[in-house]
Amino acid sequence: MWVNMAIVLLSTGIFFTEAPNLYKKGLKGDLVIFSLFLMVGTALSLAEFGQMDIPNPLDYIQAIYQPISKALQAFFS
């Protein structure tokens, strides 16, 4: 419970530290992207500390490229 509150407070502090600077400089697109990445990172951190099973992105990349690799191996051998 305390870890979850610490993660949320830390990400809120990061947002309120960085967002005014981005807004003042007129970088509204960067502010949107920064906010999205911060929310995704916060959600993943909360899920990790909540012992949820988070899939590895490399598994998806391997699933995409493995058939291509096998086809190229069969073609060149």
Q: Report pLDDT digits (tens) over 34-49.
A: 999 999 999 999 999 9
Range of the domain at 46: 2-76
DSSP element (H, E) containing 57: helix 57-76
Token output for 30: 């960067």
Token output for 6: 């610490």
How much is the pLDDT for 73? 94
Number of structural domains (the chain) is 1
Per-residue pLDDT at 54 exceeds 90: no
Nearest to 4 by CA among 37, 49, 41: 49
Lowest mean pLDDT across 10-14, 30-34, 55-59: 55-59
Q: What is the mean pLDDT of residues 50-62?
A: 90
Q: Are 54 and 47 in contact (CB under 8 A)?
A: yes
How much is the pLDDT for 61? 94
Taking the CB of residue 68, how many other CB atoms lie within 10 A of it? 9
